[in-house]
Amino acid sequence: MLSCMTVSDSIWLRSDTGRPGPRPAYTLDQLADACVRIADEDGIRALSMRRLADTLGTAPASLYRYVSGKTDLVDLMVDRAGAEYRFAPLTGDVRADVLDIAEQSRAIHRRHPWLSQVTASTLGPNSMRYLDHLVGALAPAGLDPTATMTGVALLSGWVTNFAAQEAAGMSAGAAGGGAAHIAAMLEHGDYPHLTALMTGAAAGGSAGDVADADSRSGADDGSDANDRAFRAGIDALLFGIAPTR
């Protein structure tokens, strides 16, 4: 965890000091690319020093010239995924700028489902660029540093959690068993607030219509229901982070 790591432990700073011995055969980017391929193809559990060595055609012991272990590999591959962002010039419209980067982050998580299963111990250069851009997107809201960084954490966490549910095949309406299940449960207990919510959602139609729509949305990553839910989450967070944006 970050709190247990000193600055000198970071692979991004450690790699600048150089190490004795022959000239390195691989760059950190090459190691990261190989790790990403392994995780994309076979999942994060397939990643190990031995598997990486086999992929590169070298001995596991030789990798310790570059990294200290799997924690370093995770840091490398998370940062490598961060290279896929394309940062457009900021417009000053907080919602538009935040949503642009959030949509990109969601797409990157779709391409690399393992991202929602790991946590980098330190930020690499690409992760720093992501952080810098998101801080810039929130800047027009005039937040103090603590509120800004809290906002970044909340927005990033929403994307990660949403992407994890999508990777698990859950649709936007599947929480709690889905709208159909919730509607059925309302018939067997006193849940006034949920009843009012479902009644409002079904305005212009029946609760069954809402449930049917939920069912039709399925677990399709590109479904309109998932897209609407994702953006609604971003809007709700922004309302709390910067209500006067």
Which pTM was predicted?
A: 0.80
- In the CATH scheme, what is the code of domain 84-170+223-241? 1.10.357.10
HEC string of 64-123 equals HHCCCCHHHHHHHHHHHHHHHCCCCCCCCCHHHHHHHHHHHHHHHHHHCHHHHHCCCCCC
Q: Could you read off the pLDDT of 160-198 as tens digits, one per residue?
A: 999 998 888 776 655 566 677 788 888 888 888 888 887
Domains of the chain, residue spans: 2-81, 84-170+223-241, 175-217
Name the average pLDDT for the chain.
84
Q: Could you read off the pLDDT of 193-235 as tens digits, one per residue?
A: 888 887 876 654 444 444 444 444 444 444 788 899 999 999 9
HSE on the CB side for 170, CA within 13 Å?
Answer: 16
Q: Could you read off the pLDDT of 80-128 as tens digits, one per residue?
A: 999 999 999 999 999 999 999 999 999 999 999 999 999 999 999 999 9
pLDDT at position 197: 82
pLDDT at position 210: 44
User: Is the pLDDT score of 53 beyond 70?
Assistant: yes
- In the CATH scheme, what is the code of domain 2-81? 1.10.10.60
